[in-house]
């Protein structure tokens, strides 16, 4: 048969497949979540996230060292405080768990890039992401405490802050406070399109951040909405965000694609705890090849347009990238 076009020519062997890959990634695009528990000494496995750990302030650098050994130079920090109250005051305390973790990491690994999650859910005794008036989160009152928390992280040495609360105007509030205190060069990674997803369950168990009542549908986005994600991203761009994020990743690839096509800012995707836990569970049951599923899932996120990925598989993916299994 006389065929001029034979696409299989470029699939014939591994060398040509790697040469012609459209999606290329590196360990520099990976961000690893680290959970620091103020009450813990040493390391404790996280039951809801097999293979992940809580670290004490005395052991957090073990997590950083492991990242560096695999070539992962970025983390996002989540804190589990010793005490909680209605307004989450430990979130912005100078000696808070995240603030102390930042100083500990930077003292040992000054070049390691530390991003901090800025939210109130881990610090409030009711588990919601802001200040309550009755059973409702007060948007504007919450902005003040979010800005104070972000400032405290930066003053402790954080390289970047990432507000995840989904309050209206939080990027502008944080940008204004950081700039007023001379931190004009500290970037903000905004959880711009964060959906009210069922995929967060394992994280909430790990972080102790499940709401005591109700849910977060009043401030996180409705999974049915696509155009709203563009609106949220556009607002955050106007308010001074430096990086946009879509969360979760797997079930929102269409949103990642459209946001990547629409906005000029770098785009992050968060492959959340439920995605990770499902792969782990299926692999443990012998139903899937964990390594191949891990790689394919990550490729799908980057192929869709993300520039960076927060993932519990960051270390394993970095190894896979060096082997050429992801490009």
Are 78 and 117 contacting, i.e. CB atoms less than 8 angstroms apart?
A: yes
Q: What does the alpha-carbon distance between residue 99 and residue 249 come to, in Å, rounded to a whole number?
A: 28
Is 247 labeled as catalytic in the residue annotation?
yes
Comparing CA positions, the residue from 117, 229, 200 lying closest to residue 162 is 117
Catalytic residue among 84, 148, 247, 315, which? 247
* Rounded to 5°, angle at Cα 78 from 74 and 81: 145
Distance CA 77, CA 67 (A): 13
Residue 194 annotated to the active site: yes
What angle, 0 to 180 degrees and rounded to 10, lies between the N-to-C axes of helices 170-180 and 227-239?
A: 20
Instruction: Out of 84, 148, 194, 280, pick the active-site residue.
Output: 194
Q: Positive or negative, the Cα torsion across 147, 152, 155, 156?
A: negative
Per-residue DSSP letter, 8: G
Tokens 């404790």 sit at which residue? 44
Q: Is 2 exposed, middle or buried (0-12, 13-18, 19+ CB in 10 A)?
A: exposed
Q: Describe the crossing of helices 97-108 and 60-70 by its angle, rounded to 10 degrees.
A: 50
Q: How far apart are CA 127 and CA 120, in angstroms?
A: 8
Q: What count of residues does the chain have?
A: 327
Instruction: State the Cα–Cα distance between residues 11 and 168, nearest whole angstrom.
Output: 48
Q: Phi, psi at residue 254, to the nearest 5°? A: -65, -35
Phi, psi of 265 (to 5 degrees): -75, 155
Helices 290-304 and 253-262 pack at an angle, to 10 degrees, of: 30
CB burial readout 12-46, b (16+ within 10 A) else e: eeeeeeeeeeeeebebebbbbbbbbbbebeeeeeb
The β-bridge partners of 113 are 74
Catalytic residues: 194, 247
């Amino acid at each position: 048969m006389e065929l001029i076009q034979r696409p299989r020519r470029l699939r014939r062997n591994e060398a040509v497949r790697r040469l012609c890959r459209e999606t290329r990634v590196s360990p520099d695009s990976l961000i690893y979540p680290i959970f620091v528990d103020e009450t813990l000494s040493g390391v404790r496995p996280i039951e809801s996230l097999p293979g992940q750990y809580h670290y004490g302030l005395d052991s957090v650098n073990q997590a950083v060292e492991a990242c560096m050994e695999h070539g992962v130079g970025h983390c996002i920090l989540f804190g589990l405080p010793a005490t909680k109250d209605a307004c989450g005051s430990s979130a912005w305390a100078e000696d808070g768990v995240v603030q102390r973790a930042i100083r500990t990491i930077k003292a040992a690994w000054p070049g390691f890039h530390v991003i901090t999650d800025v939210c109130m859910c881990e610090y409030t005794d009711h588990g919601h992401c802001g200040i309550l008036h009755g059973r409702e989160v007060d948007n504007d009152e919450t902005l003040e405490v979010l800005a104070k928390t972000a400032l405290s992280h930066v003053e402790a040495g954080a390289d970047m802050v990432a507000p995840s609360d989904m309050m209206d105007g939080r990027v502008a509030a944080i940008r204004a406070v950081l700039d007023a205190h001379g931190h004009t060069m500290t970037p903000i990674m905004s959880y711009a399109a964060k959906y009210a997803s069922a995929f967060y369950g394992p994280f909430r168990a790990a972080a102790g951040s499940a709401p005591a009542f109700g849910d977060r549908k009043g401030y996180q986005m409705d999974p049915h909405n696509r155009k709203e994600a563009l609106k949220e991203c556009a607002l955050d761009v106007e308010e001074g965000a430096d990086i946009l994020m879509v969360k979760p990743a797997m079930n929102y690839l269409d949103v990642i694609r459209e946001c990547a096509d629409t906005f000029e800012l770098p785009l992050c995707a968060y492959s959340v705890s439920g995605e990770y836990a499902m792969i782990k569970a299926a692999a443990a049951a012998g139903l899937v090849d964990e390594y191949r599923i891990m790689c394919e899932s990550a490729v799908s996120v980057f192929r869709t347009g993300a520039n960076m990925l927060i993932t519990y598989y960051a270390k394993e993916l970095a190894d896979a990238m060096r082997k050429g299994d992801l490009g």
